[in-house]
Amino acid sequence: MEARKNEKNEARAKGGNKGSQADRPEVISQVERIPNVSGLPKAVKRRVYALKRLQVQSAHIEAKFYEEVHELERKYSGLYQPIFDKRHAVVSGAVEPTDEECEWHSEGEEDELADDLKKKIALEEKKEHTTPADDPKGIPDFWLTIFKHVDMLGDLLQEHDEPVLKHLQDITVKFSEPGQPMSFTLEFHFEPNSYFSNTVLTKMYKMKSEPDSSDPFSFEGPEIVDCEGCKIDWVKGKDVTVKTIKKKQKHKGRGTVRTITKEVPQDSFFNFFNPVKATPDGMDEDLDFTLTADFEIGHFFRERIIPRAVLYFTGEALEDDESFEEEDVEEGEEEDLDEEGEEDDGDFDPTA
């Protein structure tokens, strides 16, 4: 019912789709699809084509507009930073907020309401006092809880990821420098842990703010067109993105049988840092789908989770996100690989 558009939600995570099929037929159909152009007197049709040329010029001005908005976002990310730093300090327990900083429910609400809530809270607090009051450091599992609350991430999250994500301390976003190709980089900051030696895992999303010359009218603003992960330096045996499977092998000549272990990939959130590569037109449909989902997630981290983390922790932000459709990342890989494993076992010589 609402034309509910958020200026900051710029990027269309169209990814591999873009350009692949859509454009070329598009152009031809333009003539067919439009009776009131092909039907027009030649002189009038000429003028319509003139307007279409002007429209292409507009699209290029629009692209510049989006570049300036990107600049503006860079500028504002600096203004948000002190707030995000404070958030990180509270989450990690480095800073204990003052009573004033925690005064929540009296703010911006009518008194009777505040009273209502004060009662409510008083009640809860009484409950707590009957139980042994423990005081953990900061806000435990802050980011892991967010991952569990957001379906789009829950789909990626595996049980074996959870102990690793308990060490996730902060997620931040960096925008490309002015003059550089438009991009943003998600940075996942981890406390020292027994899983990998990296302190930061990064995922960079490249954007394009430029009308497609073969279909300039489809331009709707910057688009994520590619992404780049990072190498995770896993501690030996701690890599949650692989599992080891046992295999029997028979020596063709000697006929002796030995069991070897082989590492095969498995589902894990941390595969997010090892994305499939975007390829030009005609890429595999599954990959295209996976990539589009990945772009969705990158966009969602940048636009929703990082700016509003606490609201995803409490759950308050969740109902606002109907506009973001969630998409499962292809989960076929593991099975495929297992089968491959099985096939290997097929090598085992039955004539033995």
Window 130 to 189, contacts with a second copy (CB under 8 A): 133-136, 138-140, 145
Q: Is 115 in the site for a second copy (CB under 8 A)?
A: no
Q: Is 52 in the site for a second copy (CB under 8 A)?
A: yes
Q: How far apart are CA 50 and CA 91, in angstroms?
A: 58
**DSSP symbol at 208:** E
Q: How far apart are CA 257 and CA 251, in angstroms?
A: 6
- CB-wise, 107 or 343, nearer to a second copy? 107
**Binding test (CB under 8 A) with a second copy, winner from 73, 187, 330, 338:** 73
Window 265-294: contact mask with a second copy (x via CB under 8 A): ---------------------------x--
- Nearest Cα to Cα of residue 23 among 214, 276, 174: 214
Residue at 321: amino acid letter? D
Residues 190-219 that bind a second copy (CB under 8 A): 213-214, 216-218
Q: Is 94 in the site for a second copy (CB under 8 A)?
A: no
**DSSP symbol at 232:** -
Q: Smallest distance from the beta carbon of 116 to a second copy, in angstroms?
A: 6
Q: Is 128 in the site for a second copy (CB under 8 A)?
A: yes
- CB-wise, 121 or 235, nearer to a second copy? 121
79-87, 168-176, 251-259, 261-269 -> range binding a second copy (CB under 8 A): 79-87
Q: Is 50 in the site for a second copy (CB under 8 A)?
A: yes
Q: Is 111 in the site for a second copy (CB under 8 A)?
A: no
Q: Smallest distance from the beta carbon of 132 to a second copy, in angstroms?
A: 10
Q: How far apart are CA 88 and CA 260, in angstroms?
A: 45
The answer to whether 70 and 182 have CB atoms below 8 angstroms apart is yes
**Which is it for the CA torsion 329, 242, 172, 320, positive or negative?**
positive
Q: Is 242 in the site for a second copy (CB under 8 A)?
A: no
Alpha carbon 331 to chain centroid, angstroms: 16
Q: How far apart are CA 243 and CA 263, in angstroms?
A: 5
| Number of C-beta neighbours around residue 9 at 10 A | 16
Residues 14-43 that bind a second copy (CB under 8 A): 14, 24, 27-28, 30-31, 33-34, 36-38, 41-43
- CB-wise, 13 or 240, nearer to a second copy? 13
The answer to whether 212 and 219 have CB atoms below 8 angstroms apart is yes
**Binding test (CB under 8 A) with a second copy, winner from 191, 220, 336, 345:** 220
Q: Is 118 in the site for a second copy (CB under 8 A)?
A: no
The answer to whether 279 and 16 have CB atoms below 8 angstroms apart is yes
Exposure class string for 187-223: b at 16+ Cβ within 10 A, else e: bbbbeebebbebeebebbbbbbbbbbeebbebbebbb
Q: Smallest distance from the beta carbon of 287 to a second copy, in angstroms?
A: 15
Q: Is 87 in the site for a second copy (CB under 8 A)?
A: yes
Q: Mapping DSSP to helix (H, G, I), strand (E, B) and coil, where does residue 350 land? A: coil
Q: How far apart are CA 344 and CA 69, in angstroms?
A: 54
Size of the site for a second copy (CB under 8 A): 112
Q: Smallest distance from the beta carbon of 201 to a second copy, in angstroms?
A: 22
Q: Is 66 in the site for a second copy (CB under 8 A)?
A: yes
Q: Smallest distance from the beta carbon of 180 to a second copy, in angstroms?
A: 19
| Number of C-beta neighbours around residue 260 at 10 A | 11
Q: Is 55 in the site for a second copy (CB under 8 A)?
A: yes
The answer to whether 283 and 168 have CB atoms below 8 angstroms apart is no
| Number of C-beta neighbours around residue 53 at 10 A | 8
**Binding test (CB under 8 A) with a second copy, winner from 115, 116, 191, 263:** 116
**Binding test (CB under 8 A) with a second copy, winner from 94, 122, 124, 345:** 124
**Binding test (CB under 8 A) with a second copy, winner from 80, 174, 187, 189:** 80
**Binding test (CB under 8 A) with a second copy, winner from 186, 201, 290, 299:** 299
